[in-house]
Amino acid sequence: MYKEGIIDLFPYLCQVTFMPSRDQKKSRVTLLDVARRANVSRATASLVIRKSPLVGSETRARVEEVMRELGYVYNMGAARLRAERSHTVGVIVPNLTNPFFAELLSGIEAMIDEAGLVVILANSGDLPDRQDAVMQRMREHGVDGVILCPAAGTEPTYLRRVAEWNLPLVQALRQISDEADYAGVDYAGGMHQAVDYLVSLGHRRIAFAVHGPIHSAYHERISGFGEAMQSHGLGADMIIRVPNQLGGIASSANLLLNRPDPPTAVICFNDVIALGLSAGLYDCGVKVGSDFSLIGFDDVTDAEAMRPRLTSVSTAPATIGNNAARLLLNRLADPLRPPERIVQQTQLHIRQSCGPAMIAAV
Amino acid sequence: MYKEGIIDLFPYLCQVTFMPSRDQKKSRVTLLDVARRANVSRATASLVIRKSPLVGSETRARVEEVMRELGYVYNMGAARLRAERSHTVGVIVPNLTNPFFAELLSGIEAMIDEAGLVVILANSGDLPDRQDAVMQRMREHGVDGVILCPAAGTEPTYLRRVAEWNLPLVQALRQISDEADYAGVDYAGGMHQAVDYLVSLGHRRIAFAVHGPIHSAYHERISGFGEAMQSHGLGADMIIRVPNQLGGIASSANLLLNRPDPPTAVICFNDVIALGLSAGLYDCGVKVGSDFSLIGFDDVTDAEAMRPRLTSVSTAPATIGNNAARLLLNRLADPLRPPERIVQQTQLHIRQSCGPAMIAAV
DNA sequence: ATCTGCATTTAGATCGATCTAAAAACTTTT
DNA sequence: AAAAGTTTTTAGATCGATCTAAATGCAGAT
């Protein structure tokens, strides 16, 4: 194949030096070029890139030197074809715009990057059909595994089907099946913290304001709310749906107040709702923190900047992302390990948006 | 998996049928399998996937049927090796956590996805060194092109170096070099809109509150502010740096008020600052919208939910993302076209945070 | 029957790495 | 000095697609 051409002034170098304009497309430096130049075989050069301990230190140094000299760029694509490993991980989220998912993604990316892999991103729009299309695309691109934040309405059988493809998958935030790894939050626990706190302030008529698509995280919060209320001997029938858009939420605040038996406190499904209701209550002339109590969920950075500062249950999305990524990396290392769950605890961050219940109300 | 056909002349099928457990890793369905089964050559099957008009319609139908039957999955990796095209685009942002970049990313992803490509995501942390590392990784993964939101401190020579790699690159939001495509916003124009509006309300002592890393978008806003002020015969010397973290911004509001010659209005570098100052001014007992005027920049969704509602210069990050993606796709289609710039106009969204200047102040 | 033109189809080389199994180059032991 | 053991290096096959250039089949024209 390649001849042991002694130092024949290196055809490659000449090419680069003398015809820099024509090497537009063709002249990619390959491992073979490196090998020839360093007087070793392709195989040895390959071992050097992969930092194998098999190669002699003097040889390694020489090869590395040549790689630098020629400006060699590793061709992951070629490697993947042979090695059946792409060093690529798919991440599918329902919505990039929501800061919550953005933070989740940020946590995932940091960990995946640290492991030397790369994130392929896709947006499912919370639509199972699009999610499936996107998943196919990931498969075609040969991702080593997928972190999926399942779209609302994803069936457990769907995850089983993915498993049949031999595609490692981690569920994030929403748990569809217990046969796959899962990284999430103890939403129910968070609801308990919120309810307990409000009850300790004397509130008894507590509403839960929700919106958005229905998925496991949704159910878990609803049922957590129910249980927590029940544990205090209270009814959990005030579950109020508000619009999805921030603008609409504010204007639905008066619906809360004009009920026959209005609540004295509201727990919000997320901070977006809390932000909207806070604005809406302000518009109604209600003073949040004294006249009325409000608790958010997620504890996004805005919570600190609101006036009054928002008391919120923090779910640390970046940490969840970290956990999800770690789960996937572990599974890639050992595909046969049993499914694992990492369910993170929430923390109630008490600020100013809650006050003692006004007894006069009844 | 799929059941045996009636006519099992096909060795491939036998293999699958008789040793379904062992095919865990090995038995990937390849184009050759499809071709054999459909009684055509590998080449023809390849043409079918790529929707070439060269194949007869009857043949096409048969091959497609077989592909479905065998559950064939296209191997992009193999294709890319030969075709030198990965259908992959790198996107590098300084920070995923900032909702502004999240929206930008969302806009990019939507367009790239529509074109049938896939986004490889990376975070530069606004650090040139990390940015370079990440860029190398992208190169190794063979991305067809990169959309880069350059880290603060990126040198023009760096972009030239990238060009030498024959790696198509689009700059987003921050323009380092005019030799590469650029998608951004007319920041200076936005500053003019803000200043003009405040001046029309009678304000003359207008401050500009800034923070964050120094980059082209920063300079452009600063100089836009200067020019706009000057065009009204006003001095632009009140440029005030506030902390980067939301928490710290609020507490720096009183610095504004305690100056020897305090401003009557502040334009903020972005909505995060506006949000923080709004809270801080509230803490000081100052009524934003009547006692004091505040203008944000970016017009994120929160602007609508603040009280008073925030007047803000909208920059439509998702649209910028769209533009950036479109520029890249155009360049991939024709690498030799001259560099193009898409600079989007801003729009002043007037809400409630500004009022007429109080004449008593002097 | 032969030729020309057109639409289809195909064999075989190829992309750039990794893998396997074995050879070569050194040590150390006998 | 030969044998045995270790460390390093390597030839050649291989991954699964695409590309090139040529072959095939089938009209209608000669």
- Does residue A71 reach within 7 angstroms of strand D, measured from its CB? no
* Residues on chain A touching B123 (C-beta within 8 angstroms): 106, 109-110, 113
Count how many pairs of residues, chain A against chain B, have C-beta atoms within 8 Å. Answer: 151
CA distance A58 to A134: 47
- Does residue A2 reach within 7 angstroms of strand C, measured from its CB? no
pLDDT digits (tens, 9 = 90+) for A183-230: 999 999 999 999 999 999 999 999 999 999 999 999 999 999 999 999
Nearest to B81 among A78, A119, A139 (CB): A78
Closest residue, chain B, to A166 (C-alpha): B24
Q: In the predicted model, what is the mean pLDDT of chain A?
A: 90
Closest residue, chain B, to A304 (C-alpha): B247
Q: What is the pLDDT of residue B139?
A: 97
Q: Please identify residues in chain A, positions 187-246, with a C-beta within 7 angstroms of any atom of strand C.
A: none
Strands B88-93 and A341-344: unpaired
Does the residue A149 lie in any domain? Answer: yes
Residues of chain A whose pLDDT is less than 50?
A: 1-25, 360-362
- Name the nucleotide with the smallest C1'–CA separation from B50: D18
Nearest to A73 among B95, B139, B304 (CB): B139
Widest CA span of chain B, in angstroms?
96
The answer to whether the CB atoms of B305 and A137 lie below 8 A apart is no
A306 and A213 together in one domain: yes
Residue A334 CA and nucleotide D5 C1' are separated, in Å, by: 34
Q: How many domains does chain A have?
A: 3
Secondary structure percentages of chain B, helix, strand, coil, to 5: 45, 15, 40
3-class DSSP state of B86: coil
CA distance A339 to B38: 40
B50 and B110 together in one domain: no
**Minimal Cα–Cα distance from B299 to chain A, Å?**
14
CA distance A17 to A343: 58
Q: What is the pLDDT of residue A362?
A: 40
Residue for token pair 């940015």:
B131
* Full domain range(s) for residue B179: 87-185+317-344
B47 and B133 together in one domain: no
A215 and A244 together in one domain: yes
B135 and B279 together in one domain: no
- Name the nucleotide with the smallest C1'–CA separation from A55: D8
**Minimal Cα–Cα distance from B233 to chain A, Å?**
35
Q: What is the pLDDT of residue B132?
A: 98
Residue B37 CA and nucleotide D28 C1' are separated, in Å, by: 34
Based on C-alpha coordinates, what's the Rg of chain B?
A: 28
**Minimal Cα–Cα distance from A72 to chain B, Å?**
10
CATH code, B19: 1.10.260.40
The answer to whether the CB atoms of A97 and B97 lie below 8 A apart is no
Strands B88-93 and B145-148: parallel
Task: Using the 3D structure, point to which of B74, B106, B121 is the last residue of a domain.
Answer: B74
Does the residue A244 lie in any domain? Answer: yes
Q: Please identify residues in chain B, positions 16-55, with a C-beta within 7 angstroms of any atom of strand D.
A: 28, 30-32, 42-43, 46, 49-50
* Residues on chain B touching A24 (C-beta within 8 angstroms): 166
3-class DSSP state of A91: strand
pLDDT digits (tens, 9 = 90+) for B193-228: 999 999 999 999 999 999 999 999 999 999 999 999
CA distance A78 to A86: 10
Residue for token pair 């500009």:
B208
Nearest to A307 among B77, B279, B304 (CB): B279
Amino acid at the residue B30: T
Does the residue A67 lie in any domain? Answer: yes
* CA angle (B22, B27, B30) in 5-degree steps: 175
CA distance B294 to B280: 12
Q: What is the pLDDT of residue A27?
A: 67
Does the residue B1 lie in any domain? Answer: no
B181 and B234 together in one domain: no
Nearest to B275 by CA among A309, A12, A162: A309
A337 and A218 together in one domain: no
A226 and A353 together in one domain: yes
3-class DSSP state of A21: coil
3-class DSSP state of B114: helix
Q: Please identify residues in chain B, positions 118-157, with a C-beta within 7 angstroms of any atom of strand D.
A: none
DSSP A361: G
Q: What is the pLDDT of residue A247?
A: 85
Does the residue A2 lie in any domain? Answer: no
A270 and A283 together in one domain: yes
**Minimal Cα–Cα distance from B81 to chain A, Å?**
6
The answer to whether the CB atoms of A74 and B121 lie below 8 A apart is no
B181 and B195 together in one domain: no
B293 and B338 together in one domain: no
Residue B334 CA and nucleotide D27 C1' are separated, in Å, by: 39
The answer to whether the CB atoms of A307 and B84 lie below 8 A apart is no
The answer to whether the CB atoms of B307 and A282 lie below 8 A apart is yes
Does the residue A79 lie in any domain? Answer: no
Task: Show the tokens assigned to A308.
Answer: 């009054």
CA distance B30 to B284: 70
Nearest to B118 among A137, A305, A318 (CB): A137
* Interface probe, candidates B307, B319, B349, B352, chain A, greatest A C-beta count within 10 A: B307
Strands (E) across B151-272 are located at 169-172, 181-185, 206-210, 239-241, 265-268
Q: What is the pLDDT of residue B66?
A: 96
Going from the C-alpha of A226 to that of each of A191, A220, A265, B264, the distances in angstroms are 9, 10, 15, 50
3-class DSSP state of B82: helix
Q: What is the pLDDT of residue B359?
A: 61
The answer to whether the CB atoms of A73 and B140 lie below 8 A apart is yes
Residues of chain B whose pLDDT is less than 50?
A: 1-26, 360-362
Does the residue B2 lie in any domain? Answer: no
The answer to whether the CB atoms of A103 and B109 lie below 8 A apart is no
Residue A57 CA and nucleotide D2 C1' are separated, in Å, by: 30
Q: Please identify residues in chain A, positions 46-85, with a C-beta within 7 angstroms of any atom of strand C.
A: 46, 49-50, 72-75, 78-79, 81-83
Residue A155: count other Cβ atoms within 10 Å of its Cβ: 12
Task: Using the 3D structure, point to which of A19, A52, A74 is the last residue of a domain.
Answer: A74
CA distance B234 to B252: 24
Does the residue A205 lie in any domain? Answer: yes
A96 and A156 together in one domain: yes
The answer to whether the CB atoms of A301 and B276 lie below 8 A apart is no
Task: Using the 3D structure, point to which of B49, B74, B99 is the last residue of a domain.
Answer: B74
Nearest to B76 among A24, A97, A140 (CB): A140
Angle between helices B216-231 and B187-200 (to 10 degrees): 30
Residue A126 CA and nucleotide C5 C1' are separated, in Å, by: 54
CATH code, A113: 3.40.50.2300
Q: What is the pLDDT of residue B9?
A: 30
